[in-house]
Amino acid sequence: MTLSLRIYCGCLLACSAAAHAETLTVDFDHASESNLTRTLEPKPGDEITATVTNTCPGHFLYASTVLKKTQKPEPPSPPGGPHMAMRPIPATCGVPGAKNSLLKGGYCQFESQKVEFIHTGDNAGYIIELRKKEEAPAKVLGLTKEDYEAAIDEISQAATCDVPAGVAKKAKKLDETKYLISARASPWAIGMSGGVSISNVVDPRFAIINDPASTATPPGTIVIHDKRADDNQAVGFAGYLHVHHERFKIGSVPLAVTLGLGIDDQSAINTMVGLSAAAGDLAYITFGWNWRSVDRLPAGQELGMAPISDNVLGGLPKRTDSGWFLGVSFKFMSPGEGFFKGKVVPKVEKEEEEEGAAQ
């Protein structure tokens, strides 16, 4: 019983952890003027990782805004906006001169930048705004790694440090822009809980007694079902998986279709299907049908008949029986949405704050 209970509890906790927070990913292409909006269906506690590809982190800041459900997000406008003044950079010949020429012309090598959020239930979406840094050139032109390295080789080998016209044709203009991640709540939800179960499916108790009709000395024996020795109910521990829909309720009480797996005081595994009512934000009350393996007589042995062997009641085989069950369970402990509030600042801003403090 102890070993089975430990194995069962370990599996239950592992399933609980797997069913909680997930990581959702979304990509935005800075060099493209399309697909500025994405729609996800995150759950509270999920991590949202947005990756801005084909961008130049050296020239842009990646500011973020969390939209609450009371706010109506406006669709992002196409890239464009005011530009910052260009800071002149002296150029020299060779590889350093080539890099300075590219930098002076506003060229940069494409990279990727990640912005991360922790979703809470009262957030309707997230905005990622790309703003030019104060020292960024007025015109930012992005190049792939291959084109950027080829441009350095070509410029460094030329007599002057001028950027060839062919480089400009390969570059993509990068403007200030905004991206919107819309968080749409799914009407479906899954809950997990653990608690106790009470069922009327119990093992029958068999006994061998003297046959009242026997006239032999000593009297013969028969096998009976001793119902007075039967347990009234079986009590055990159980874990439950609850499937909710936002329209599935009675009044203000949410209902759920429930699947349960339990183990009782006889180390028997119980499989349960039922209907649950959520008792506030902490517990569930579940009623339904339970399937369980119970003892049976060996083949060839009948009730009221003489034992077919001396050890006929030892190591009884099993059969599946079913009956009602009642479950009372509590939701698995969670830090709650309040735990995540204040933790939606993306990592890139945290890094900039740390760098500013260090300076």
Q: Which residues contact 195 (CB under 8 A, 6 or more apart)?
A: 237, 238, 240, 283, 284, 327, 328, 329, 330
Report yes or no: 240 and 252 within 8 Å, Cβ to Cβ.
no
Are residues 196 and 322 located together in one domain of the fold?
Answer: yes
The string of pLDDT tens digits covering residues 65-99 is 888 876 655 666 555 544 434 344 443 458 888 88
Asked if residue 348 belongs to a domain, the reply is no
pLDDT greater at residue 111 or residue 96: 111
Task: Determine the pLDDT at residue 75.
Answer: 60
Are residues 217 and 172 located together in one domain of the fold?
Answer: no
Cα–Cα distance measured from residue 134 to residue 317, given in angstroms and rounded to the nearest whole number: 80
Are residues 70 and 85 located together in one domain of the fold?
Answer: yes
Are residues 27 and 121 located together in one domain of the fold?
Answer: yes
Task: Determine the pLDDT at residue 275.
Answer: 97
Are residues 311 and 165 located together in one domain of the fold?
Answer: no
Report yes or no: 259 and 329 within 8 Å, Cβ to Cβ.
no
Residue 46: pLDDT band by 50, 70, 90 thresholds? Answer: confident
Are residues 165 and 279 located together in one domain of the fold?
Answer: no
Summarize the chain as % helix, strand, coil (round to 5). Answer: 20, 45, 40
Asked if residue 217 belongs to a domain, the reply is yes
Residue 41: pLDDT band by 50, 70, 90 thresholds? Answer: confident
pLDDT at 339 over 80: no
The string of pLDDT tens digits covering residues 51-64 is 999 999 999 999 99
Asked if residue 124 belongs to a domain, the reply is yes
Task: Determine the pLDDT at residue 2.
Answer: 44
End-of-domain residue from the set 184, 201, 219: 184
Cis peptide before 219 (omega within 30 of 0): no
The string of pLDDT tens digits covering residues 325-335 is 999 999 875 44
Cα–Cα distance measured from residue 11 to residue 15, given in angstroms and rounded to the nearest whole number: 6
% of residues, the chain, pLDDT over 70: 80
Are residues 115 and 172 located together in one domain of the fold?
Answer: yes
Asked if residue 3 belongs to a domain, the reply is no
pLDDT at 255 over 90: yes
Are residues 270 and 302 located together in one domain of the fold?
Answer: yes
DSSP-based three-state secondary structure for 94 = helix
pLDDT at 353 over 80: no
pLDDT at 340 over 60: no
The string of pLDDT tens digits covering residues 123-174 is 889 999 999 999 999 999 999 999 999 999 888 888 678 888 899 999 999 9
Are residues 219 and 146 located together in one domain of the fold?
Answer: no
Are residues 138 and 198 located together in one domain of the fold?
Answer: no
Are residues 269 and 145 located together in one domain of the fold?
Answer: no
Asked if residue 2 belongs to a domain, the reply is no
Give the domain extent around 262.
188-331
Asked if residue 14 belongs to a domain, the reply is no
Asked if residue 79 belongs to a domain, the reply is yes
For the full predicted model, state whether its pTM sits above 0.75.
Answer: no
End-of-domain residue from the set 155, 184, 213: 184
DSSP-based three-state secondary structure for 2 = helix
Burial 168-184, CB ≥16 within 10 A → b, else e: eebbbebbbbbbbbebe
- Other CB atoms within a 10 A radius of the CB of residue 309 amount to 10
What pairing do the DSSP bridges indicate for beta strands 107-109 and 47-55? unpaired
End-of-domain residue from the set 162, 184, 206: 184
Are residues 173 and 269 located together in one domain of the fold?
Answer: no
Least Cα distance to 28 among 15, 37, 19, 39 occurs for 37
Asked if residue 340 belongs to a domain, the reply is no
Tally of domains within the chain: 2
pLDDT at 262 over 60: yes
